Chains A and B, each alone.
Chain A
Amino acid sequence: MNIIVVGLSHKTATVEIREKVAFSPNQIEKPLAELITLDGIIEGVIVSTCNRVEIYATTRDIAGGIARIKRFMAEYHHLPFEALEPHLYSYHAEDAIRHVFRVASSLDSMVVGEPQILGQIKTSYGYAAEFKSSGIILNRFLHKAFSVAKRVRTETKIASSAVSVAFAAVELAKKILGDLSDKTVMLIGAGEMCELAAKHFINSGAKGVMVTNRTFERAERLAEEFGGEAVPFESFLEHLHRADIVLSSTGAPHCIIGPKDAEDIVKRRRFKPIFFIDIAVPRDIDPKVDDVENAYLFTVDHLQEIVQANLAQRGLEAEKAEEIIDQEIGQFHKWLSTLEVTPTIVSLRNRFDEIRRAELEKTISGWKDLPPDAEKRLEALTLAMMNKLLHAPTSVLKQAGQGGRVDLYVDALRQLFGLEALRKDDEELELEE
């Protein structure tokens, strides 16, 4: 049995193409049903996010399966095959396993380490499980992918550092102010970056928001959006001491907060630290503010520095992640190969033969006056019995091996007769589910 992957991602296709082949999650049943009725395709899962559309399937016929899925993707979306084909990639065997593990671990993401992708794959798998398009192999495969992703997440720092300026600001604020849940943010002026940072602060639990702007209506509108309070620009300094985090991005030609103001504010705050972020160019906040005790001023350049350092760190962590994935591929591949028919028949025969020989040995060794040809006869008798007993299951397995869901039989057989020491691994997966 082979796992194949066919798809496209932000690396191979522009957003115009990606959106054309996207599968809408509320109508996923239909394509899933069509997918598994394709010739030679046994199980299938469709993952569709804004950055990638991928189909995971199992098949006996790798080349044919990949070709049919490629055609299916084009035909289902009524696209000319020739136009879509150059953007599609396909993997099989170990490469397919590695690809899915990497995607789930967010190593293939546009922003490496972003956490959403794992959830998206889980949802996609949920649909496939619900509509029964995934079977024993893909079930096991995706659960393995989830546990690999979890390992990568816990054993490397790939997702722990901030890689956007807005997020870096939040991380920095936490280094100064600790818990943000009782902290207030003040926005001075408006700007995309400022608003984004404010959103990040609110998501991280910041309690209150104050907004001030030269045009008061604008401030009111933003304040409403954040559930905060609008402050008139003329008197914003009067309110500044209530803020723990100050984000400034006005178009003012001169500094609007000087060291003297900062000193007053810190005093009014009873020396509780205050965190200034100056996003404006030219600067809004006098650099001397940083010299004021308990006031901490950072500019966009500082934040950018943190982001660069974190990105470099992520590169290192990604290497560690690849190592983890390498280990896990080997393990999964081993399990997959046990699902093949021939090795199963061989190990079943060996198992029976083992028992037969052991029992024969026991009988003969305790038998005192054994007739001369008795040993040969007993040997023949037990062998015949074994062959007769094994005949039916063997031929069913071989037949099933020609097509259909043979892995079900193989897996059941292996478990019934305790053929492989893979039990521990199974239990682990069971727990994760």
Chain B
Amino acid sequence: MTHMFFILTVALYCCAATAYLACLVRTSSVLTRWAGRILAVGFTAHLLSTIHLAVKMKYLPLTNMQESLSFFSLAIVGGFIFFERRYKVTTLGSFIIPVALLMLTASSTLHEEARQLPPILQSNWFWFHALLAFASYACFTIAAGVAVMYLIQRYFLKTKHFGALFQKLPSLETMDDISYRCLSVGWPLLTIAIISGSIWSDQAMGSYWIWDRKQTWSMIIWIIYAALLHGRITIGWRGKRAAILSIIGFIVVLFTFFSMKHSITW
């Protein structure tokens, strides 16, 4: 049952990603509408499969790399749907949805046995921490996607190339705005995630901060985004600089996420 939903989700994301990529080359309101619809159905299937798994296992499916990747992509798609509704930026989908699809496909190739839940993870603080962390990661992913789009559009404007992609991409200000919104939601979420994580660490290991790899890298991520937000609010960091920093931040997020496997929780 869960597996069926999962396959369905991969297929739907694949269709949606294709449709969004096609939107880059073709202008068609029908295509745009269908891309959105397919994605919404895919997201629903994904959500249902995740919930089904959670009910079956009696815990949130975040205990191994396979489950985490799937959850990461769920959060990205959810975040994208939210921002797409607000800003009507279809082109964002062409950059974000393939990433989500890639994560989900990677997740489906991993066949890790569902393990007995280690007692260390049996804490509400852990679930709270993990949920918020993924929500903030989704925000950072979207911010990075927008940053890539920003750099492309900026390149077109500076080199005076007014091609089809230039017409498709949103205005610099819109992208800057989306990126700022993402960060101003994502960073507080990450802050709470780190705090709840350290409370859990205290419960599980008797210390709020044990300087393991994951905690250290989380701190680095937190500092990068804090610097970015701070620079933006006080000096008005925008545009190219903010975009590059946001992409660097995302790379560190990915690095942390994939190296997390080796940390003490697993």
Contacts and interface: CB of A to CB of B under 8 A. Distances in A.
A293 B166 contact: no
Nearest to B161: A305
Nearest to B29: A154
A176 interface: yes
Nearest to B173: A178
Given A271-B236, A272-B236, A306-B162, A175 B27 contact: no
A178 B177 contact: yes
Nearest to A244: B173
A115 interface: no
Q: From A175, A290, A293, A305, name the one whose CB has the most chain B CB atoms within 10 angstroms.
A: A175
A270 B237 CA distance: 8
Contacts of B174: 178
B98 interface: no
Given A296-B158, A305-B162, A309-B162, A176 B173 contact: yes
B171 A175 contact: yes
B52 interface: no
Contacts of A273: 172-173, 238-239
Interface string A153-190: 00001000000000000000011111100000000000
Contact of A176 (B160, B162, B172, B237): B172
Interface string B149-187: 000010001101010001000111110010000000000
Interface in A227-274: 269-273
Given A270-B235, A271-B237, A290 B172 contact: no
Nearest to B239: A294
Contact of B171 (A157, A176, A293): A176
A178 B160 contact: no
Contacts of A157: 27
A332 B172 CA distance: 46
A152 to B, nearest CB: 15
B214 interface: no
Nearest to B28: A155
A290 B162 contact: no
Interface in B12-33: 27
Given A157-B27, A290-B158, A298-B160, A177 B236 contact: no
A363 B209 CA distance: 98
Contacts of B27: 157
B171 A174 contact: yes
Interface string A291-313: 00110101000100110010000
Contacts of B158: 290, 296
A305 B160 CA distance: 9
A293 B172 contact: no
Interface string A75-114: 0000000000000000000000000000000000000000
Q: From A269, A270, A309, name the one whose CB has the most chain B CB atoms within 10 angstroms.
A: A270
Contacts of B166: 175
Contacts of B171: 174-178
B157 A176 contact: yes
Nearest to B158: A290
A273 B236 CA distance: 11
Interface residues of A, number: 21
Contact of B238 (A175, A177, A271, A296): A271
Contacts of A175: 153, 157, 166, 171-172
A142 to B, nearest CB: 27
Contacts, number: 50
Nearest to B238: A271
B122 to A, nearest CB: 48
A270 B172 contact: no
Interface string B1-18: 000000000000000000
Contacts of B172: 175-178, 273
B162 A296 contact: no
Contacts of B238: 271-273, 294
Contacts of B173: 176-179, 273
Q: From B171, B237, B240, name the one whose CB has the most chain A CB atoms within 10 angstroms.
A: B171
A375 B236 CA distance: 98
A262 B170 CA distance: 25
Nearest to B242: A271
Contacts of B160: 298, 302, 305
Interface in B232-265: 235-241
Contacts of B235: 270-271
A267 to B, nearest CB: 9
Nearest to A309: B162
A122 B253 CA distance: 59
A270 B232 CA distance: 9
A293 B151 CA distance: 12
B239 A271 contact: yes
A175 B162 CA distance: 11
Interface string A205-244: 0000000000000000000000000000000000000000
Contacts of B237: 271
Q: From A271, A272, A305, name the one whose CB has the most chain B CB atoms within 10 angstroms.
A: A271
A175 B165 CA distance: 12
A180 B123 CA distance: 51
Nearest to A176: B172
A9 B49 CA distance: 65
A270 B236 contact: yes
B162 A293 contact: no
A302 B172 CA distance: 19
A116 to B, nearest CB: 24
A269 B237 CA distance: 11
A158 B153 CA distance: 24
Contacts of A269: 236
25 contacts: A157-B27, A174-B171, A175-B153, A175-B171, A175-B172, A176-B157, A176-B172, A177-B171, A178-B170, A178-B177, A179-B173, A270-B235, A270-B236, A271-B237, A272-B238, A273-B172, A273-B239, A293-B239, A293-B240, A293-B241, A294-B238, A294-B239, A294-B240, A296-B158, A305-B162
Q: Report the 9 A-B pairs with minimum CB-CB distance, sorted nearest first.
A: A270-B236, A178-B173, A178-B171, A271-B236, A178-B174, A271-B238, A294-B239, A176-B172, A175-B171
Given A178-B174, A293-B240, 15 more contacts: A157-B27, A175-B157, A176-B171, A177-B173, A178-B170, A178-B172, A178-B177, A269-B236, A271-B235, A272-B236, A293-B241, A294-B240, A296-B158, A298-B160, A305-B160
